[in-house]
Amino acid sequence: MTATPVPNPSAARRSMEALALGDAFGERWFPLFRDRRRAHAEIRARAVPEESPWPWTDDTAMALGVLSVLGDHGRIDQTRLARTLADTFLSDPGRGYGSGMHELLPSLAAAPASWPTATRALFRGEGSLGNGAAMRVAPLGAWFSADPDHAAEQARRSAEVTHAHPQGIAGAIAVAVAAALTARRAPIPDLLREVADRTPPGPVHDGLTHATSLPPATTPRQAADLLGSGRRIRADDTVPFALWCAARHQDDLIAALWITAEGLGDVDTTCAIVGGVVGAATGVSAVPPSWLDRREPLPAWVAALP
């Protein structure tokens, strides 16, 4: 058996704090999406949403569940994660969960050990290929930053609890590997290529490979048009664009979030992924205090991580 790598809870904390910020920041743009021209204009002008607070969504709620299981067990105990995600959902189901989770998580609350059967039954037996496993996994990647391959394996285990489809799992693996690599705090010139090399074959991998070939002058809107930005709520339509944005600004969380927002789409999820990946290195130390004051607070135990 391969030894579990030394954990990096401080990187996981940084990632969690930034994931929640990205999630809450991205969610603030949805009210403008009835007028896409206005939304694009305000994002390009870097007009920070003024309302307060900025609540976070299911992206953050589920990421907190993953991180709490790691804190308690040091690895992904799948039945414990099933129970934790189910309990989190039942305590606050209005966080914006997708239809699949509304179907799955109540059943796991009653019988968490049934997750293999219940998860495979979703979507006519195909399992979910959505972005839910990817959007919550960056702190796990940061936790296992000492060994990106181990992070990929634990990401697979975390995804399987809710996403039986291979592409739902592949999306989680890609994001976890990206967070593991960036947690080392040194920008990686070929981040997308390194992530693609560790991502299982299929549309997520193909999207990442496509992202590596985009010219440097590609704008965020062009990248979103080419790669997808979550409008289809699928991992392959979400993860490549989000990681393209993260790779562009590995050392600047705010810049990364703004270019991600320019892609519109499922902007709370893409910004959560980008926040979790970039934040594994940067944390939120350079974020304007006004942003942090608006973001809904995280549980106190997150700040208490080393």
pLDDT in tens, 172-197: 999 999 999 999 888 899 999 999 99
Q: How many CB atoms lie within 10 A of CB 278?
A: 33
Q: Is 23 annotated as a binding residue?
A: no
Q: For the chain, give percent helix, strand, coil, nearest 5.
A: 65, 0, 35
- Confirm or deny that 2 is annotated as ligand binding: no
* pLDDT for 1: 44
pLDDT band at 2 (very low <50, low <70, confident <90, very high): low
Alpha-carbon distance of 10 to 302, in angstroms, equals 10
Instruction: Flag whether 57 is marked binding.
Output: yes
- Give me the torsion for CA of 225, 226, 227, 233, rounded to 10°: 40
- Domains annotated for the chain, with CATH where assigned, are 9-300 (1.10.4080.10)
59 annotated ligand-binding residue: yes
Average pLDDT, stretch 145-172? 97
Instruction: Report the DSSP beta bridge partners of residue 295.
Output: 54
236 in a known ligand binding site: no
Distance CA 9, CA 80 (A): 19
Q: According to the annotation, is 206 in a ligand binding site?
A: no
Q: What is the pLDDT of residues 19-42, one digit of tens each?
A: 999 999 999 988 766 777 888 889
Which stretch of DSSP H or E encloses residue 204?
A: helix 203-212
Q: How far is CA 191 from CA 58, 98, 99, 248, 264, in A?
A: 27, 30, 33, 9, 23
pLDDT digits (tens, 9 = 90+) for 86-111: 999 999 999 999 999 999 999 999 99
